[in-house]
Chain A
């Protein structure tokens, strides 16, 4: 079965082919696509994708259309079209701005899609040779991180990798007193920068020797952004000591500008600290806990090694992991080529990209229809001129080419107007799409190529209908129409375009209304608790480093008690995570009295009155219970 999109592309390209040769051209391309699909289905290697192959049809069709054109005649067309457009500045301005809107919206959205999906994070050496490694289970598929012992086992056993590094997102408190700032950073293994092939902007980056003894390496690497924002880009910060939490840390160096780790989504890390400095949880070290998974893994393929070899080497690792820990009995080690997004994020990003592209695609189609209609209306006014040109010997093809040249020049003008919008996409896209974008959405060569391609496509699209209309009439018809109120074909075409515009606009309005309705529904949805009158505050005592378990609990209890006494407050409680936005953590759970069953459960730690405060009905058991000491 041939890909419908590839078929549609070939069909669209066929419109460019001269009518006489079109059936044969179409038959050849249909045959080629069928042959390609057959070869791919047979498992043949080294074949292009149907879409990529079908794009060649455009080059072929364009060659057939322009075969025999001379440079002189093309220049003549361009000169004439420019003169015509200059003579009607109002039309040119409106058409250019309308088209610029459609082209700019498409290229800006592509810039976003490019930044999230296609572009590897900056400053990383050969990102195509990096591989993401994740944990899953046969019984519960997922894409998740590893525990420290599991990571060590993978590092030791995996073949085909020159290095495997681990990293984990962490909040840090910088500075003291009023100068305190909370930043997102990463705890990374000593080989992290080496595996990614990153070079320091100044000073040096972390090395394996900086990550040997737990708690023994109070050193930090700053991001270029933090270095400039907080330390004014002062080079003498390297070698100095800064306060991280309650401890002094030595600044080893600054990462290169634009380096944000290996992820395209989420907050960009501002600093990197050796994993050896992990503060631990509840007084326990994270380095010997198989049940606590927190390290994300990324590996670099050995020189000459393939992804398939790396995949195969994981079979042994998987076997060893299953042997090492009872809860790992059906663990799977998953690999994904490249970095930026993990497979789950990629699936979601694809869906979003599809919806956004569809919306801006419809906007572009709408603007093209709009301008094509303006073209047709203007053509009615230029009937006399066309009739005279035909009487003087201009062929229908030549007139169609003339119209197409005009539309292409308009599209080129619109692309030029749209370019500054696209170039500033980096500034306004994060405002429109307020999800954490670590990767850069600044336009690169791919975005500019897309901008020009969309411009050309828009020019061809909007010019196709008027060109077709002008090529259909003979000289007698043209001269007769010059004196009449308008050709019937043209009126019918204009009607068709107006109806299309209405249809497309209605579709967009309906889509927007449905989206609005969904937002309203989401706002009134039952989240499983009663959000009315709830007020949330956040505090992190760990980051201050000033409270041990006893003092911390005491402070929490005093806070909750005081909050509950505030007039108007019905009840107050504590939780380490808030519903919906607060994330989650997993723990290994074992039924009381049984050692043979073990599973992982999502868990949050809560204080007394939690269920009562959030208005969550309990199915069994007492509704409130004081459980904080």
Chain B
């Protein structure tokens, strides 16, 4: 059974899902430093949860900038995100119930 994803990986997967993103977008969407984002992207790619795709050279040339490398979720990635998100939601619900119970 694969190791469950940590918070950082979930955050990054969550930020990639609309429907793709390049590195800087992930930094601004998650607030994580670039030194965390890129190695995590490498690990997620190695696990087959995301794939990288180079932008069409013509688009970049038209906008007068270097082409970007976009990341998008694979099917496994979408599944891992959903599983991870429900795990976090369960935990949050547990904590919520506990705090309500404690308060009562």
The chain A residues found within 8 Å of chain B, CB to CB, are 27-28, 30-32, 34-36, 38-39, 44, 46-48, 52-60, 63-64, 67
Among B27, B31, B42, B46, which residue has the most Cβ atoms of chain A within 10 A? B27
Q: Does B86 contact A (CB under 8 A)?
A: no
User: B residues 19-73 with Cβ under 8 Å of A?
Assistant: 22-24, 27-28, 31, 33-39, 42, 46, 60, 65-69
Residues of A within 8 A of B65 (CB): 31, 34-35, 38
Question: How many angstroms from the CA of A447 to the CA of B28 in the assembled complex?
Answer: 29
Closest to B23 in A: A32
Q: CB < 8 Å: which of A39, A54, A60, A67 contacts B24?
A: A39
Residues of B within 8 A of A38 (CB): 65
SS class, residues of chain A in contact with chain B: helix
Residues of A within 8 A of B23 (CB): 28, 32
Residues of A within 8 A of B27 (CB): 48, 53
- Determine how close the nearest CB of chain B comes to the CB of A456; give it in whole angstroms: 14
Do residues B28 and A32 form an inter-chain contact, with CB atoms below 8 A?
Answer: no
Given A34-B65, A53-B34, also A60-B22 (CB < 8 A):
no
Do residues B22 and A59 form an inter-chain contact, with CB atoms below 8 A?
Answer: no
Residues of B within 8 A of A56 (CB): 33-38
Question: How many angstroms from the CA of A60 to the CA of B33 in the assembled complex?
Answer: 11
Size category, B interface: 20 to 34
12 more A-B residue pairs beyond the given contacts A34-B66, A56-B38, A57-B34, with a C-beta to C-beta distance below 8 A: A28-B23, A31-B65, A31-B68, A38-B65, A39-B28, A52-B34, A59-B35, A59-B39, A60-B35, A60-B38, A60-B42, A64-B42
Closest to B32 in A: A56
Do residues A67 and B28 form an inter-chain contact, with CB atoms below 8 A?
Answer: no
Do residues A47 and B28 form an inter-chain contact, with CB atoms below 8 A?
Answer: yes
Q: CB < 8 Å: which of B33, B38, B42 contacts A48?
A: B33
- Determine how close the nearest CB of chain B comes to the CB of A523; give it in whole angstroms: 49
Do residues B69 and A60 form an inter-chain contact, with CB atoms below 8 A?
Answer: no
Closest 5 CB pairs of A and B: A56-B34, A59-B35, A60-B38, A63-B39, A56-B35
- Determine how close the nearest CB of chain A comes to the CB of B73; give it in whole angstroms: 19
- Determine how close the nearest CB of chain B comes to the CB of A14; give it in whole angstroms: 13
Closest to B43 in A: A63
- Can you name 28 A-B pairs with beta carbons within 8 Å? A27-B67, A27-B69, A28-B23, A28-B69, A30-B66, A31-B60, A31-B66, A31-B68, A32-B23, A32-B24, A34-B65, A35-B22, A38-B65, A39-B24, A46-B31, A47-B28, A48-B33, A52-B34, A53-B27, A56-B33, A56-B34, A57-B34, A59-B35, A59-B36, A59-B38, A59-B39, A60-B42, A63-B42
Residues of B within 8 A of A36 (CB): 24
User: B residues 67-83 with Cβ under 8 Å of A?
Assistant: 67-69
Question: How many angstroms from the CA of A437 to the CA of B22 in the assembled complex?
Answer: 47
Do residues A35 and B24 form an inter-chain contact, with CB atoms below 8 A?
Answer: yes
Question: How many angstroms from the CA of A57 to the CA of B27 in the assembled complex?
Answer: 13
